[in-house]
Structure 1
Amino acid sequence: MSTLMRLPVFLFALLLLSACASLQPEIDPPKVSLESFNALPSEGGAPRFEIKLRIANPNKQAFDIAGISYSVELQGQELISGVTNEVPVLEAYSEEVVTLEAGLQLFQLLRLLTGLGMQPTDTLEYRFMGKIDFKGFVPTQRVEETGTINLK
């Protein structure tokens, strides 16, 4: 193919790619807040927890969520983590409560308790991280919330 013929093909491909990129609507990340956190009855293994998250969709389109992965850190130690694919469709401008089941990482808890024993503190730094994967062409949304827990 001659150089003269390659230029129109290249320009057409560039135009097609830019058109596809502009078709994706602007999406605000979902708002996630903790609804409740409860211990589940132990079945001989590591402790398990039920976490209820309230997820709000601040967009004009519904979201079909493929799955959510999440973790909770205290003082930089990841203590709780889990995943779920049992999430209802989030209609436009609506909220849903999603129930998650999470496991406690015992070795990380022991490290945290050991560290707190060596350097007592009045506050604990926490960090919640979540990744929400959508079905279709909606990009993955990452949610992070940080703060402190006052122990006094």
Structure 2
Amino acid sequence: MPRSLRFCFFALLALSLAACASLGERDPLRIDLAGLEPLPGEGLEVRFAVKLRVQNPNDSAVDFDGVALDLEVNGQPLASGVSDQRGSVPRFGETLISVPVSISAFSAMRQAWGASGYRPGQGLPYELRGKLAGGLLGTHRFSDSGTLDWPETPRGY
């Protein structure tokens, strides 16, 4: 191997290792379900805007270019959605992202059937999974879970 080619190889190797080391450890983003707002639907589908609160506990901003999510309620798929919105979560900051999701008539019927046995005051478990696209090595996957409280019937009714 010629000397100049060997030098170029080792120089590229050193630069690659330095680039990997500069990425460092980043704390994961915190993404929580912040709310649901109704949207106009078509036909038998129901649509909502899922509001996500994204918190960045890192020392540098996180840019994103697209969002995808799936919502399960009571262990069954309920809604899914995507958005091509772009944005940035500031360093040690937060932002609110809105993603439109669709609920098919079949999913709504399955959920209604499953929830028919629930009593007032009983919670429905939910799980939210998705990703914030960020280009090469920049995609952030997330999940959130909790309980949607089934409203209690006021006394006297």
* Same topology, TM > 0.5: yes
Q: Are 1:51 and 2:35 counterparts?
A: no
The 2-side partners of 1:108 and 1:44 are apart by 14
Q: Give the 5 Å matches for 1:96-111.
A: 96-111=95-110
Letter in 2 for 1:141: H
1:114 aligns with 2:113: yes
In the alignment, is residue 134 of structure 1 matched against residue 131 of structure 2? no
What percent identity do the matched residue pairs reach? Answer: 30
- Give the residue type in structure 1 aligned to 2:88: V
How many correspondences in the alignment? Answer: 144
Contact 2:49 2:101 in 1 (8 A): yes
Distance 2:14 2:70 in 1: 41
AA in 2 matched with 1:59: N
Q: Tell me how far 1:113 sits from its aligned partner.
A: 2.6
Secondary structure (helix, strand or coil) at the match of 1:108 reads: helix
Cα shift at 1:56 = 1.1
Quick check: 1:79–1:106 contact (8 Å CA) kept in 2? Answer: no
Unpaired runs of 5+ in structure 2?
A: 153-157
- 1:90-119 superposed Cα distances (whole Å, 9 cap, x missing partner): 1211111111111113212222333444x5
Shift of 1:120: 4.5
The structural deviation recorded for 1:128 is 0.9
Q: CA deviation at 1:43?
A: 4.1
1:56, 1:120 → 2: CA distance? Answer: 34
After superposition, the Cα gap between the structure-2 partners of 1:102 and 1:126, relative to the gap in structure 1 and judged at 3 Å, is same
CA distance in 1 between partners of 2:85 and 2:78 (Å): 22
**Length-normalised TM-score, structure 1:** 0.76
Structure 1 unmatched ranges of 5 or more: 2-7
What is the CA-CA distance between 1:51 and the residue it aligns to?
1.7
The Cα shift of 1:82 comes to 0.5
CA RMSD of aligned residues (A): 2.9
Measure the CA separation in 1 of the matches of 2:118 and 2:88.
44
Q: Which moved more, 1:42-51 or 1:17-26?
A: 17-26
Whether the 8 Å contact between 2:33 and 2:144 is mirrored in structure 1 is no
Question: How far apart are the structure 1 equivalents of 2:19 and 2:92?
Answer: 26
Change (3 A) 1:42 1:149: closer
Q: Give the equivalent residue in structure 2 for 1:125.
A: 125
C-alpha separation in 1, matches of 2:19 and 2:45: 47
Aligned amino acid, residue 106 of structure 2: F
Distance of aligned partners of 1:120 and 1:55 in 2 relative to their CA distance in 1, 3 Å threshold = closer
Determine whether 1:76 maps to 2:88.
no
Q: Say if 1:126 and 1:147, in contact at 8 Å, map to a contact too.
A: yes
